[in-house]
A = this chain, B = another copy of it.
Amino acid sequence: MSDLCRIGILKLGCIGAAPLLDLILDERAERKDIAVRVVTTGASMDPVNCEEATAKLAEMSPGLVIIVSPNASLPGPTQAREYLLKMKLPVLSISDGPSKKAFYTKDEKGKSVVSIPDGSGFIVLPMDPMIGARKEYLDPTEMAIFNAELIKLFSCTGVIRFLQFEVDKLTDSLKAGTELKLPKITLTTEKALEHAGFANPYAYAKAYASLTMVESVAGVTSNACFKEKNPEVYVPAVAAAHEILRAAARLADEAREIEKQNDTVLRTSHGSSGKASKKIQLKEKPK
């Protein structure tokens, strides 16, 4: 198996895009063209933990490393990027809204412009909100529910397929030995929805609403986790944030149900060669 086709994934802490990222590349475990290696530190973003995990992943000679983490500007992910770039490994960072400060700077006119080292790229997901991380509320069960709702939402609104396509492009490039064009993208609602492939405009509108709602979660949780000191204030707030997510996931699910009702669900499975097919009607063959 050629080193070029090895995809390394480094998960430092958790965002909604992280738990299934490696599985998105090979959803039925049938691909013959890639090998995936993932190292993670669990929930921890502690720089010492991150460093060890990064080194271990690098030892497995990936042709590309995808780092997925909350706030990519924190020391853990930042040092991981630096280490990997020093090792001449191409790095794609996938992170949440606050990570913009890692990838953008202001130009002299005060306009936000991309500013990252060569050999690196990023995908910022503003729809991947902070969890309601308060001890009075968030136990492992509630944490799992939050991630389940978020994954459901990402699936139904095109975020998962967007990630699939971006990584597929890189994998194809690695396989072909062409120059890697690492994406430098902040994912918008519209761009995510393009990938969802909705045929019905109201399904589209519901998914749009869902993505807008989930973007509003981060404001509530970050305030409740970082600013509020009073449990009587922050406990209801984090509970409310999770309710917004639950409502948003339900709306995304409704959008997909409409497409099912019209038999217009887009499917893009990987074949064993790694090529993604495309089909719409459930009874048709993937093309």
Contact = CB atoms under 8 A, between A and B. Distances in A.
A202 B60 contact: no
A87 to B, nearest CB: 16
Contacts of A145: 151-152, 155-156, 256
A160 B135 contact: no
Interface stretch (A94-102, A112-120, A265-273): A265-273
25 contacts: A1-B48, A19-B19, A20-B144, A23-B144, A27-B138, A29-B44, A36-B40, A36-B42, A36-B43, A36-B44, A37-B52, A56-B60, A136-B267, A136-B269, A144-B160, A149-B152, A201-B239, A201-B263, A205-B236, A205-B242, A205-B243, A208-B236, A209-B244, A231-B285, A235-B282
Interface of A: 1, 7, 9, 11, 13-14, 19-20, 22-31, 35-45, 48-49, 52-53, 56, 59-60, 131, 133-145, 147-149, 151-152, 154-156, 160-161, 164, 190, 200-206, 208-209, 212-213, 215-216, 220, 231-233, 235-237, 239-244, 247-248, 250-251, 256, 258, 260-263, 267-271, 276-277, 279, 281-283, 285-286
Contacts of A250: 247
B27 A49 contact: no
A137 B40 CA distance: 30
A204 B236 contact: yes
B244 A201 contact: no
A1 B96 CA distance: 30
A11 B19 CA distance: 12
Interface centre among A143, A232, A241, A285 (most CB of B within 10 A): A143
A151 to B, nearest CB: 4
Contacts of A139: 27, 161, 164, 267-270, 276
Nearest to A164: B140
Contacts of A233: 190
